[in-house]
Structure 1
């Protein structure tokens, strides 16, 4: 594998300060990677019509960055697809604007591709700002593990022996490199040929679950997805989307609904009553615990399915 050139793609939307810190870290990682591997790394930012002066700040403070300033917010899926289709380099990293690379992050990721030819898509270990692990990979959703997840059964170790969890929480799942069903889109590195063959994100998703659905099609085409904890980044989780728990969970449920209808057809309508039951049980449980804010999250979730 002689050509190790990489394009780093960052979407920005009203996160001027956070994006600035992200770019400073990304450029430091770029320099380190180029020095170690003698490759070329470009950093591209697509600004999704930010109203906080993000585009002007990037143009002024980071002249080495390629800036694409949109006049409308394209969302995560469409925005990334727009950039990826124009890239010529053999490797692409999709990086959230609230992710901070370590100096060696890009080098370690590209080096892993070089030694593991069976790796086509790579996800990193994501850490919260506190340093704690952020779960960021899991098994692809199916009828059974979605039932276990919505009913809370996947939190019990016994049930995880029966079915591979959609949202694993156990630390051992994230302890070493292994193949995985999906990785989080906050750090999503891939060979360009994977995009060329699979067509990228389904643009019917605006936000949430789009990377999981793409991972499904990536596996269907015979490519391999790896979770590699040797590559670490800090993910502020939500800073790039002005995080709102109600909206986030509702959007995830909408994404799950679309995913299941697309890949499982009529079985979604069999599953829907279980989803409703699970949300009602969660709402009752958190109400009894006097955690009314969390209970309202599940009430809003009912509207999404």
Structure 2
């Protein structure tokens, strides 16, 4: 790969009530700013209302980062896609839009050379639309990043959790085994995702109807449908804590009840991209699989690591229930008169 990069990168960090982590993330970017010409960073505060704006702004000034970092406060928390678009939209409309956009979570820390490696890869692979980093947890544990698009069979496997079935459905399981080599993948986590400007020109910005979760899965699907490829570049290493803004999937913490937007995002992904009946069948397969898993869990006395009320919340937010609610609403709008 080339040692000289003539490119500019806009890094977008969406903060929601994690100012200390955001500042640590910015600090980890200092060596990258020196190594890669033209890096600028926009921190979007998603209406945290916890003092984040003042704290981050003070850190930028105190550390002397004003030349490459700025803060963009939002008066509305519209979610992950909304926050990223708030920074990307004016950049795309400017006279000189960036060559690349790097979406970076506030609960990450860039390891040395991570951005340069991603940009080098993209410069050498013009058909690559998105390249993502490899991840590790704070203790150095690797985190799976090679992912397939969700499907009917992956939803069955996700609910059922039976080893022999997972082996039979190995070609459809969402998380693929990683060998720490550069490889093409279906989709990438939005925690560190480098997007080529031409991709945004052809596909547009991220779908703001997703509040959180599935937005990067959906975006990668649109990118691949437009003829681009997505790649995992594990040599670009990023530490990712996970779940700090939402409280969902926090490592080494008891599972919490999933917020409604998790189910809303899943439902939107399937209905938007595959239609009502596909989404409805996906729901049924997951419910069937998970119900069988709960029976087996009880009989075999297996530990329970699922979020509280998981099955109940899933059913209440399923495509079927939403369809029935919509049908009931339509019927209630009719005035029936006896003849």
Whether the TM-score (by the shorter chain) exceeds 0.5 is yes
Name the CA shift for 1:256/1:167 in 2 (closer, same or farther; >3 Å). farther
Q: Distance in 1 between matches of 2:282 and 2:168?
A: 19
Please list the CA deviations of residues 22-62 of structure 1 after superposition, one character each: whole Å capped at 9, or x if unmatched.
Answer: 1111233222x23xxxx210011000111221111111111
- Cα 1:155–1:115 change in 2 (3 A) is farther
CA offset at residue 112 of structure 1?
Answer: 1.2
Aligned-residue offset at 1:129:
0.8
Q: Does 2:317 match 1:304? A: yes
TM-score of the two chains, using structure 2 as the length reference: 0.80
Return the match for 1:278 from 289, 300, 312. Answer: 289
Q: Does the Cα contact within 8 Å between 2:100 and 2:196 map onto a contact in 1?
A: yes
C-alpha displacement of 1:86: 1.6
Change (3 A) 1:121 1:83: same
Counterpart of 1:122 in structure 2 is: 131
Residue 23 (structure 1) aligned with residue 33 (structure 2): no
Check 1:257–1:154 CA distance in 2 against 1; reply closer, same or farther (3 A cut).
Answer: farther
Is residue 218 of structure 2 the alignment partner of residue 207 of structure 1?
no
Q: 1:160 to 1:133 in 2, by over 3 A?
A: farther
- Matched residues in 1 for 2:150 and 2:206: separation? 17
Unaligned runs of 5+ in 2: 92-96, 250-254, 319-339
Q: Deviations over 1:140-173 (max 9, x none)?
A: 1222332233322578663255x232133x343x
**In 2, are the aligned partners of 1:154 and 1:160 still within 8 Å (CA)?**
no
Equivalent pair of 1:145/1:166 in contact (CA under 8 Å): yes
Equivalent residues in 2 for 1:33-48, closer than 5 Å? 33-34=35-36, 39-48=37-46
In the other structure, the counterpart of 1:188 is 193
Given that residues 131 and 233 in structure 2 are in contact (C-alpha distance below 8 angstroms), is that contact kept between their aligned partners in structure 1? Answer: yes
Q: Any stretches of 5+ residues in structure 1 without a counterpart? A: none
- 1:14 aligns with 17
Query: 2 CA distance for matches of 1:278 and 1:193?
Result: 41
Per the alignment, do residues 247 and 183 of structure 1 end up closer, same or farther by CA in structure 2, a change over 3 Å counting? farther
**What residue number does 1:152 align with?**
161
2:271 corresponds to: 261
Aligned to 1:165: 173
The answer for the alignment partner of 1:233 in structure 2 is 238
Which of residues 70, 75, 78 in structure 1 aligns to 2:79?
Answer: 75
TM-fit CA distance, 1:249: 7.7
Q: What residue in structure 1 maps to residue 109 of structure 2? A: 100
Q: Secondary structure at the match of 1:202?
A: coil
The separation in 1 between residues aligned to 2:52 and 2:307, in whole angstroms, is: 35
CA RMSD of aligned residues (A): 2.3
**How far is 1:292 from its partner?**
4.8
- Whether contact under 8 Å (2:257, 2:310) holds in the other structure is no
Count of matched residue positions in the alignment of Structure 1 and Structure 2: 296
Q: Quick check: which one's helix share is greater?
A: 1
TM-score (norm 1): 0.88
> Following the alignment from structure 1 to structure 2, what is the Cα–Cα distance between the partners of residues 140 and 130?
28
How far apart, in 2, do the equivalents of 1:293 and 1:219 lie? 34
What secondary structure, in the 3-state scheme, does the structure 1 residue paired with 2:294 have?
helix
Distance change in 2, residues 1:97/1:198 (3 Å):
same
